[in-house]
Amino acid sequence: MSTSNYLETAETAKTPKHWSKAARKRILIVEDDRLSLKVLRQLLAARSYDVLQASGGWDVINRARHERPDLILMDLRLPDISGLDATRLLKMDDQTKNIPIIAVTAFATPSFEATAYENGCDAYIAKPIDIENLLGTLESL
């Protein structure tokens, strides 16, 4: 075995699989509020998720098609189109229909939660976000 092959093998053996880039889950956060985005990014990065971001409904549709995230955290109140409209469009698209979408919203009413599910959301989390609930929901999806 050459020295370079030996070093590559040694480096690979030292790196736990769950730390490798390939094993990390990619989450696309759709949030137009800077503070909320920052908090979510830090929380998810600390939990070893790769974090992508989008600031609006059209942006999330484009990013989801090109980046293929493992999951989308979708704020429902966005500046261009609603998160519900973006979710519906993503779920109708063959390229993105299987990406789980978690609605994240301050509209915390049972009727709005039902509307989120009717429009294709796979889970619903009300703001302010309960961190344990969020992490549990991420793991379940």
2 belongs to a structural domain: no
Helices 110-118 and 83-92 cross at an angle (nearest 10°) of: 30
Residues of the domain holding 33: 20-140
108 belongs to a structural domain: yes
Q: CB-based burial of residue 26 (10 Å sphere; 0-12 exposed, 13-18 middle, 19+ buried)?
A: middle
8 belongs to a structural domain: no
117 belongs to a structural domain: yes
How far apart CA 90 and CA 52 sit, in angstroms, is: 16
- Sequential pLDDT tens for the chain (141 residues): 444 443 343 344 443 344 445 568 999 999 888 888 999 999 999 999 999 999 899 999 999 999 999 999 999 989 899 999 999 999 999 999 999 999 998 888 888 899 999 999 999 999 888 889 999 999 998
CATH, residue 69:
3.40.50.2300
What pLDDT score does 25 carry?
Answer: 93
95 belongs to a structural domain: yes
116 belongs to a structural domain: yes
Question: How many domains does the chain fold into?
Answer: 1
What pLDDT score does 16 carry?
Answer: 38
9 belongs to a structural domain: no
What pLDDT score does 23 carry?
Answer: 66
3 belongs to a structural domain: no
